[in-house]
């Protein structure tokens, strides 16, 4: 199985896919956000340093994040999914250096989701307190009874940050920030584009095809 660097706009389904890859193929899911939180909780020397930096309202440097990734990478010889990193071209360059040094091969999967489709997913999204999500604008994801969870019967709620305006801000800034990274991975022929507008099962099948 190929190691994966995941690049995906909001609402492209990256979380679900990562979860499936973890369960079906034993992938190690490395989210840099989780790694930072974990280091802080463990109160490791690195964690304490990170805590100080964040308390001062500063950004954790690329070097620190690279060190964290380097520590976790390939634990137990499992293939990895890197999620949330790189976010800048500089990070991408440092990551390439690290992966070369560790002799790790990898592909970059870009989940391509047009803005209209992303908006549709956001606009119709409903959540239940049990963790199940629904979508009133996508037939296969509608709850059986309007506004009610199929599984636990609770009333479905709309997340505050799911409104169109704040989503567009997130989506556009995402596109702008990732453009240099995408171009970089295109130029070194690592990038594989997956059409994420298809239904979940087809997207997953397409991904399985490329990681084998």
Q: Which of 78, 87, 193, 200 is catalytic?
A: 87
Helical pair 62-72 and 45-55, crossing angle rounded to 10 deg: 150
- When asked if residue 151 is in the footprint of Zn ion (CB under 5 A), the reply is yes
CB of 154 to Zn ion, least distance (A): 5
DSSP state of 10: T
Nearer to Zn ion, 145 or 179 (CB): 145
Q: Across the strands, what pairs with 157? A: 127
Decide if 190 is catalytic: no
Decide if 159 is catalytic: yes
Angle at 71 between CA 66 and CA 77, to 5 degrees: 120
* Angstrom distance (rounded) from CA 175 to CA 180: 9
Q: Interaction with Zn ion in 103-132: which residues (CB under 5 A)?
A: 128, 130, 132
Q: Which range, of 46-54, 137-145, 149-157, 160-168, touches Zn ion by CB under 5 A?
A: 149-157
Q: Retrieve residue 207's tokens.
A: 């991904």
- CB-CB neighbours of 115 under 10 Å: 13
Nearer to Zn ion, 154 or 163 (CB): 154
Decide if 37 is catalytic: no
CB of 152 to Zn ion, least distance (A): 3
CB of 24 to Zn ion, least distance (A): 24
- When asked if residue 157 is in the footprint of Zn ion (CB under 5 A), the reply is no
Non-local (6+) Cβ contacts of 180 within 8 A are 88, 89
Q: Retrieve residue 56's tokens.
A: 């001062």
Residues belonging to the active site: 14, 87, 125, 159, 170
Task: Enumerate binding residues for Zn ion (CB under 5 A).
Answer: 128, 130, 132, 149, 151-152, 154
């Amino acid at each position: 199985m190929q190691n994966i660097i995941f690049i995906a706009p909001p609402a492209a389904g990256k979380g679900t896919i990562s979860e499936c890859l973890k369960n079906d193929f034993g992938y190690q899911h490395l989210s840099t956000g989780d790694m930072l939180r974990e280091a802080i909780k463990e109160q490791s020397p690195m964690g304490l340093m990170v805590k100080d930096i964040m308390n001062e309202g500063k950004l954790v440097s690329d070097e620190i994040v690279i060190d964290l990734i380097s520590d976790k990478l390939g634990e137990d010889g499992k293939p990895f999914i890197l999620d949330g990193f790189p976010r800048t071209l500089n990070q991408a360059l440092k990551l390439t250096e690290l992966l070369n040094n560790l002799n790790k091969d990898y592909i970059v999967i870009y989940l391509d989701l047009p803005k209209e489709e992303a908006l549709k997913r956001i606009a119709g999204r409903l959540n239940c307190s049990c963790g199940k999500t629904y979508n009133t604008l996508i037939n296969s994801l509608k709850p059986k009874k309007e506004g009610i969870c199929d599984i636990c019967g609770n009333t479905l709620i709309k997340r505050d940050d799911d409104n169109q305006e704040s989503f567009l801000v997130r989506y556009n800034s995402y596109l702008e920030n990732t453009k240099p990274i995408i171009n970089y991975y295109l130029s070194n022929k690592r990038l594989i584009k997956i059409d994420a507008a298809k239904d979940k099962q087809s997207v997953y099948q397409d991904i399985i095809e490329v990681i084998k």
